[in-house]
Structure 1
Amino acid sequence: MDKTNGENLFTNGTYESANIAITDNLNNDEPIEFTFISENNLNLIQIGSIGWQSQIVNLQIDISDNHIFNFYVDAERKMGTCCSYTEYNEITIEASEFELDTQNGIYKILAE
């Protein structure tokens, strides 16, 4: 999202989803798979691999060779009485301002 006017930077054409690169800083900058959801101009980056196991990830998100933000997650996989689940010990976004929608858990990254 544009930090000053709130516009979605994918919807207005500033960024193209094909230019998104996500790499794992803890694993030799290995590329991370993600899904870009553009339906109805939603324009979300979904990283589905986080939380399926106990892990710490420190991802770097770049668009068109511009560093946008770092995404750190400390996730712990646990077993409940009927099923397994993930407990997120820490989630941190660095190098960019953001807003968290507590209703749906979506982070809005505010770029300049």
Structure 2
Amino acid sequence: MALTHESMAGVARRKAQLAREKVRSAEDELVAANEALKAAIPRRDVDAIAQAAERTAHAEGEVREAAHDLEVVDELLDEAAEPRPVAVHSGEGLRSLLALIQRRR
């Protein structure tokens, strides 16, 4: 089954939305980690600093996943933008197939 321009655009939209959600989640994680660091560093709270580092690492992972999703979106959009040759005899319908067979006899 070939992908249509519409189906590729739909997949691209969903992937872009997923990437957007991952970036927002990563942003929230980074804000929380930075707030925790602001409080933990003056107190020299090693455990809180370690937890903030974990949150930062998690946010970095979400950003990497979002970047991958956006690469897929780019590929889908490039594929959708390529002109498709229009077949005279697509073979997708019984009538066109029968007409083609009858002409070849």
TM-score normalised by structure 2 residue count: 0.20
RCO higher in structure (CA 8 A, sep ≥6): 2
Determine which structure has the larger helix proportion and give its number. 2
Report which of the two structures shows the higher radius of gyration computed on alpha carbons. 2
TM-score normalised by structure 1 residue count: 0.19
